[in-house]
Amino acid sequence: MFILKILIRNAFRHKLRTLLTILGITVAILAFGLLRTFINAWYGGVEASSASRLVTRSSISLIFHLPLSYKDKIRQVDGVKVVSWGNWFGGVYIDEKNFFANFAVDAKSYLQLYPEYLLSPEETNAFLRDRKGFVAGRKLAKRFGWKIGDTVTLRGTIYPGNWDFVLRGIYRGRDETIDETQFFFHWDYLNETMKKRASARADQAGWYMVGVTRPDRATEVALAIDQTFKNSLAETLTETEKAFQLSFISMSETIIMAIELVSFVVIIIIIAVVANTMSMTYRERIGEYAIFKTLGYRGWRIAGMIVGESMVITLIGSFLGIVLTFPVARIVGKMLSNYFPVFNVAEEAIYMDLAASIIIGLIAAIVPTYRSVRIRIADGLRRIG
């Protein structure tokens, strides 16, 4: 405790300079933490993926649909437990800026495949009974003030016209990694309407969601499904849910790399700031270090004081930056909820903040420590005054 007291007093001997350095570290660690949270949010869908679910789509592109008859053949594949299907709807609520994911699914099998979407038994039954019913995530319902029983109209883009839905359930995620901003409704409602308006577009699924009996059989089942439809008019590509999510992220891989690069540039800049502060401290205290040597202090003791002072300044700034990361991330998450449904500070980001702060403190003290240990007593005393 006595040594820590000395280190803190030394660190705040020049209060303004120290406070400005701490402020710089706080801002840098906050920026670093937010950038890492952005990256984690980008991979949010991947983290929430299940190892026991597969996605089957057209081998050409996701925009090409598959025949509805495929569901029966997929069910016959050994290792398949549940089969569901869906179509991206792409509806607009009031205005294009109100973007959220909305799609049609086979309700019963979809809820069976996604137990992480928690609904009450009453809500589940009401949704399954109402052909025009839909389910919305808790965050989405809160965003627009929707309540159970409300009628919501979406303007179709892929499927033209105004579509009326009745809110029958509001789901919440089983854990914080679950997207609570989705909107899904009955595939049968979409299909029956398309039979009346454009029969050529009916009885088609955008993708199939397949639940396997055991996660370790996922690869085997995926190959078997694709083999079943090989050389057909609509060949398939089956992959794990995680791989399916990563295929979308890979399209923006350059952006992610840029964000990662910026996050590390921030650390390099703050290292330079702290190193400059410690260099100024060294120049002011050359005489003191020389006196310490005349009193018998060894080099490692002087080095310990310099490194300790650097670590005190850095850790104080880092602690403030980490503490501020949580409320700032909450605010940013609300602002970007349309694009990042899950925007939570991960443990990994905190560990990286701590590691970065230690690295900053150590690197910033290298040059001042080396000079103070190497300086001769006569040269140091000559600098007094």
Q: What is the DSSP string of 134-163?
A: EEEEHHHHHHHT--TT-EEEEEETTTTEEE
* pLDDT one-digit tens code per residue, 293-321: 676 667 667 777 778 778 888 888 889 98
The answer to whether residue 226 sits within a structural domain is: yes
Residue 54: predicted pLDDT: 93
Residues 208 and 169 in one domain: yes
Residue 303: predicted pLDDT: 73
Q: Domain limits at 304? A: 2-44+252-382
Residue 204: predicted pLDDT: 94
The answer to whether residue 241 sits within a structural domain is: no
Domain boundary among 205, 234, 263: 234
Residues 361 and 304 in one domain: yes
β partners of residue 62: none
Residue 16: predicted pLDDT: 83
Q: If you ran DSSP here, which 8-state letter would residue 185 be given?
A: E
Residue 380: predicted pLDDT: 57
Residues 347 and 206 in one domain: no
In the chain, the number of structural domains is 2
Q: Per-residue pLDDT for 224 more than 70?
A: yes
Residues 112 and 160 in one domain: yes
Residue 249: predicted pLDDT: 65
Q: Per-residue pLDDT for 191 more than 60?
A: yes
Residue labelled with tokens 């009450």: 120
Distances 38 to 185, 260, 262, 367, 368 between C-alpha atoms, Å: 30, 10, 12, 34, 36
The answer to whether residue 277 sits within a structural domain is: yes
**What mean pLDDT comes out for the span 278-285?**
70
CB 98 within 8 A of CB 183: no
Residues 347 and 284 in one domain: yes
Residue 338: predicted pLDDT: 63
Residue 284: predicted pLDDT: 67
* pLDDT one-digit tens code per residue, 43-99: 665 566 677 899 999 998 888 999 999 999 999 999 999 999 999 999 999 888 888
Residue type, 171: Y
Q: Per-residue pLDDT for 351 more than 70?
A: yes
Weakest-pLDDT range from 13-27, 60-74, 183-197, 247-261:
247-261
pTM given for the model: 0.70
Distances 88 to 28, 65, 159, 208, 290 between C-alpha atoms, Å: 41, 10, 10, 12, 74
Main-chain dihedrals φ then ψ at residue 92, nearest 5 degrees = -115, 130
The answer to whether residue 242 sits within a structural domain is: no
The answer to whether residue 93 sits within a structural domain is: yes
Give the chain's radius of gyration (CA, Å): 30
Contacts of residue 219, Cβ cutoff 8 Å, sequence gap at least 6: none
Residues 66 and 29 in one domain: no
**What mean pLDDT comes out for the span 236-248?**
82
Q: From CA 59, how far away is CA 48, in angstroms rounded?
A: 24
Q: Per-residue pLDDT for 26 more than 70?
A: yes
* pLDDT one-digit tens code per residue, 135-178: 999 999 999 999 999 999 999 999 999 999 999 999 998 887 78
Q: From CA 381, how far away is CA 384, in angstroms rounded?
A: 5
Compute the mean pLDDT over every residue in the chain, rounded to the nearest whole number.
84
Residue 189: predicted pLDDT: 95
SS3 273: helix
Domain boundary among 234, 269, 290: 234
* Confidence tier at 287 by pLDDT (50, 70, 90): low
In the chain, DSSP assigns E strands to: 53-58, 66-67, 80-88, 102-105, 117-118, 133-137, 151-156, 161-173, 183-186, 204-205, 207-212, 236-240
Domain boundary among 169, 199, 234: 234
Residues 176 and 319 in one domain: no
* Confidence tier at 329 by pLDDT (50, 70, 90): confident
CB 214 within 8 A of CB 50: no
Residue 361: predicted pLDDT: 82
Q: From CA 286, how far away is CA 212, in angstroms rounded?
A: 70
Q: Per-residue pLDDT for 109 more than 70?
A: yes
**What mean pLDDT comes out for the span 185-198?**
93
Q: From CA 67, how far away is CA 65, in angstroms rounded?
A: 7
Residues 70 and 200 in one domain: yes
Residues 151 and 293 in one domain: no
The answer to whether residue 194 sits within a structural domain is: yes
* Confidence tier at 14 by pLDDT (50, 70, 90): confident
Residue 81: predicted pLDDT: 93
Q: What is the DSSP string of 67-117?
A: ETTHHHHHHTSTTEEEEEEEEE---B-SSTTS---EEEE-HHHHHHH-TTE
Q: From CA 258, how far away is CA 247, in angstroms rounded?
A: 19
Residue labelled with tokens 């085997």: 220
Residue 365: predicted pLDDT: 80
As given in the structure block, the two tokens for residue 233 are: 């008019």
Q: Per-residue pLDDT for 246 more than 80?
A: no
Q: If you ran DSSP here, which 8-state letter would residue 267 be given?
A: H
The answer to whether residue 247 sits within a structural domain is: no
Residue 253: predicted pLDDT: 66
Residues 207 and 98 in one domain: yes
Q: From CA 160, how far away is CA 370, in angstroms rounded?
A: 72
Residue 336: predicted pLDDT: 72
- Residue positions counted in the chain: 385
Contacts of residue 78, Cβ cutoff 8 Å, sequence gap at least 6: 221, 224
**What mean pLDDT comes out for the span 265-275?**
81
Q: Per-residue pLDDT for 238 more than 60?
A: yes
Residues 215 and 128 in one domain: yes
Residue 35: predicted pLDDT: 85
Residue 382: predicted pLDDT: 63
The answer to whether residue 343 sits within a structural domain is: yes
β partners of residue 151: 166
Residue 315: predicted pLDDT: 87
Q: From CA 28, how far away is CA 360, in angstroms rounded?
A: 11
Residues 228 and 314 in one domain: no
Distances 188 to 68, 139, 162, 319 between C-alpha atoms, Å: 12, 26, 17, 54
